[in-house]
Chain A
Amino acid sequence: MSALGHGALYGAVLIAVMLSTVAVGIWFERKFAGRMQSRLGPTIVGPMGLLQPLADVVKLLQKEDIIPAGADRALFNLAPVLATIFSLGVAAVLPLSPHMIAADLDIGVVYMLAVGGLMVVPTFMAGWASNNKFALLGGMRAVAQSISYGVPLVLAVLVPVILSGSLSLAGIVRWQSEHHWFALWPVIPGLPAFALYFMAMLAEANRIPFDIPEAESELVAGVTTEYTGAKFTLFYLAEYVHTLVGSAIGAALFFGGWDGPFAPGLHWMVAKTLALFVVVYWVRWTLLRLRSDQLMELCWKWLTPIGVALVLIAAAWVQFAPQGAL
């Protein structure tokens, strides 16, 4: 088979696996959220409600496709597609195991940040094209949030980059498997950098407590207010894929990716990714939404200075730490 065929096959398998993970993830989230609230969660469709996501998708796809009057039709239709493409696009650089990387770019981290950052474009497009004030407000909030939280995100990602001296995600993971996980050592730039990354990732993916672009209680459904049926499903999907990929990258950058004893690398990577994915749900169903101004205050007054400090510490560590400690 040609190289192109291999690439296409790999991509197709990866996308299929990610989408089914998202489906199971949605089921798990509803179950987990139920338990956190002392409820049962879905129980009817399938054993333990396992087929609930399937039923949801079928229901969503059956719904009427509504385009509001006065909407910018081209942008309105394009936005959900772009959102899905961008969120899946980041997966290309995911180092699943030493031999499973769709594209081992030597600038994987920059690619990941760039394509992940593109996610805000369809969000704003949707908000603008909907011809709806709630959607537009949501879009504006999304832009403000994404641009702000891009800064701590980049700073947090810079820490493993500096420590390992590589911009390739696989390179960073390889360095960690040869030395140590960054979340464990050196603790000071490592663990806080992970916390920073996690928060910024939640904000970039518009997850609670940073979901002010959606903010049901204020903006109906934010940018997705006017979306129905299949297009809404795509947005929904994109959000989950974004979170899943963000968890995978967090696992790769800070928790050694495929590195681990006893089991093949892929298992470790998947386990770490899912563990982080679960933490996202855990946070989502625990915390409350931040207000807009609190969000900005957290970003600019706390996360960004902390991020700068961590980058400096990491640089100092690389420069001055004794060779044995590295």
Chain B
Amino acid sequence: MGHINDTLRALWTTLRTAFRPTSTVQFPAVVRPRGERYRVSFALPDDENGEMACIGCLTCERICPSQVIKVKPGVKRESPVTGKKRAYTDDFVIDLSACIQCELCVQVCNNDAIVMVREAEQPMFEREDLVLGFARLRKNATDRTRSWGHGTMLQESQEPAKVEKKAPAVKAAPAVAAEPRQPAPRSPSRAAEPPEDGARARAREGARARRGGTDVSATLAFGVVAACALLSAVFVVRAVDLIRAVLWLGITLIATAALYAMLGASFLAGVQLLLYVGGVMTLMVFGVMITRRHEGIAPTATDTVRPVRGAVVAASLFGLVAAAIVNTDGLDDAPARALAPLTLADLGRSILVEHVLAFEALSLLLLAAIIGAVVIARRRDPGPLDEPTEASR
């Protein structure tokens, strides 16, 4: 019961998911709004006076967990803008190939001199291109949109709560135009495609009319099918490759089924197909498992007794069947009877009432054959390598 329960639960889950909005979108057509704190690359912005804000204090270089920042502090000199003395930096390098985007460098910067930007760098061909030099970092400050955080704001937001807590001023970063939410879930439309409606009742009548087709064509068809059956039977015997032989046998059996159908015993034809397909396939599988490839059944050319023996058995079987046919009454008007439909009810009655003894005896015979086959196939002492296989089932 647990399996059934699990199966039903799984089915319910997938069905529910199918009617929910999808997690994915078609990217170039629909761009999902990026998160507010989305950040990729770096920039070295100016301070409020229009100068580069970085003073080369090395705080960011020291805190960087991946140690990808290299800062070269410059000499202190008077600012050309304000006239006050301040520190400068001569070079600033960030190796993006190892950067983990933790934003710690931004957090520790008291001057808001390093920030992150929302636009990623272009894909590159060389690993060295991932090293952002001074010029590119400066350029990013003007070309790219800043991400949400900067040093003083982040530091402030992490201070212990005061009585009057300032709301963290989030710098608006409307870099990516917020797309409207993805479209409402479309319910999977029905794959309905009704075939064109048209009264084709006549086709049925046609089929009925065809059943009693002309005698000549019927005889011809019968002959062709019978020839097929016989020829393929010859090929069964002639084929060296076991698989081919069994496939030819399959054609023989199908042709026989067709003969049954032509003689009006369509039920027998269906059952013939139904049963012998399984039989043929089983035979084929056993053939594959038991014989070796490329060898099939080696033709025993030297054995002269075997063909003779086979011929004798075949001839006696033929004689037996022929005698049975000749001795059966009322076969002279066979063509007339073949056209009269034999209903299934008649067939069932015939088997289970009239010939019940023969039917049961036959079943017993088959059962005995099965048991015999199992006994023969079973090994007395299965060795370690050849345990009873499929053959013994």
Name A's B-contacting residues (CB within 8 A).
2-4, 6-7, 9-10, 13-14, 17, 20-21, 24-25, 27-28, 31-32, 34-40, 43-44, 48, 72, 75, 96, 99-107, 110-111, 113-115, 117-118, 120-121, 124-125, 128, 136, 140, 143-144, 146-147, 150, 154, 167, 264, 266-267, 270-271, 274, 277-278, 282-283, 285-287
Once the chains bind, are A167 and B206 in contact (CB under 8 Å)?
no
Bound complex: CA A39 to CA B20 (Å): 10
The answer to whether the Cβ of B282 comes within 8 Å of any Cβ in the partner chain is: yes
Is B389 located at the chain interface by the 8 A CB criterion?
A: no
How many angstroms from the CA of A24 to the CA of B194 in the assembled complex? 12
B196 → chain A closest CB, angstroms: 8
A38 x B203 contact (CB < 8 A): no
Contact A113/B274 with A124-B281, A125-B247, A140-B285 known, Cβ cut-off 8 Å? yes
B324 within 8 A of A: no
User: Contact check: which of A9, A31, A99, A144 meets B201 at CB < 8 Å?
Assistant: A99
When the two chains form their complex, are residues A147 and B200 in contact, meaning their CB atoms are under 8 A apart?
no
B73 on the A face (CB < 8 A)? no
Known: A34-B22, A111-B270. A2 touches B206 (CB 8 A): yes
Q: Which residues of B contact A107 (CB under 8 A)?
A: 266-267, 270, 344
Q: A25-B191, A143-B282, A282-B15 are in contact. Are A118 and B273 (CB under 8 A)?
A: yes
Tell me the complex Cα distance, A117–B207, Å: 24
Contact of B191 among A14, A27, A103 (CB under 8 A): A27
Inter-subunit contact B280/A121 (CB<8 Å): yes
User: Are B11 and A32 closer than 8 Å at their CB atoms?
Assistant: no
Cβ of A96: which chain B residues have Cβ within 8 Å of it?
195
1/0 contact string of B13-34 vs chain A (CB within 8 Å) = 1110111101111100000000
Whole-angstrom CA separation of A12 from B386 in the bound complex: 53
Selected contact of A270 from candidates B25, B192, B266, CB within 8 Å: B192
Partner of B203, one of A6, A20, A75: A6
Residues of B within 8 A of A266 (CB): 194-195, 197
Overall SS of chain A's interface: helix
Minimum distance in angstroms from B218 CB to a CB of chain A: 14
A167 to B344: give the CA distance in the assembly, Å: 9
Tell whether, in the assembled complex, residue B273 and residue A115 are in contact, meaning their CB atoms are under 8 Å apart: yes
Look across to chain A and name the residue whose beta carbon is closest to the beta carbon of B185. A35
A114 touches B270 (CB 8 A): yes
Q: A125's closest neighbor in chain B, by CB?
A: B247
User: Are A75 and B18 touching (Cβ within 8 A)?
Assistant: no
Which residue on chain B has the smallest CB distance to residue A37?
A: B17
Query: B210 at interface (Cβ–Cβ under 8 A)?
Result: yes
How far in angstroms is the closest Cβ of chain A from B200?
A: 5
CA A167 – CA B267 in complex, angstroms? Answer: 9
Contact, CB under 8 Å: B197 / A264: yes
Docked CA distance A40–B206 (Å): 48
> Are B278 and A286 neighbours in the complex by a CB distance under 8 Å?
no
Q: Are B195 and A7 in contact (CB under 8 A)?
A: no
Known: A6-B200, A110-B270, A286-B11. A143 touches B285 (CB 8 A): yes
- Evaluate whether A128 and B243 lie within 8 angstroms (CB atoms) in the complex, with A35-B188, A121-B277, A147-B281 already known: yes
- Let me know if B193 and A24 touch, CB within 8 A: yes
- Tell me, rounded to whole Å, the shortest Cβ–Cβ distance linking A119 to chain B: 9
Taking CB atoms, residues of chain A closer than 8 Å to B195 are: 13-14, 17, 96, 266, 270
A305 CB to nearest chain B CB (Å) = 16
Which 5 interchain pairs have the tightest Cβ spacing? A3-B206, A110-B270, A114-B273, A28-B191, A17-B195
Using known A-B contacts A6-B203, A99-B200, A143-B285, determine if residue A117 contacts B266 with beta carbons closer than 8 Å.
Answer: no
- Alpha-carbon distance A31/B193, docked complex (angstroms): 16
Whether A274 lies near B192 (C-beta < 8 A) is: yes
The docked-state distance in angstroms from the alpha carbon of A105 to that of B281 is 26
Q: B277, A267: Cβ atoms under 8 Å?
A: no
Chain B nearest CB: distance from A11 CB in Å?
Answer: 9
Q: Smallest distance from the beta carbon of B347 to chain A beta carbons, Å?
A: 11
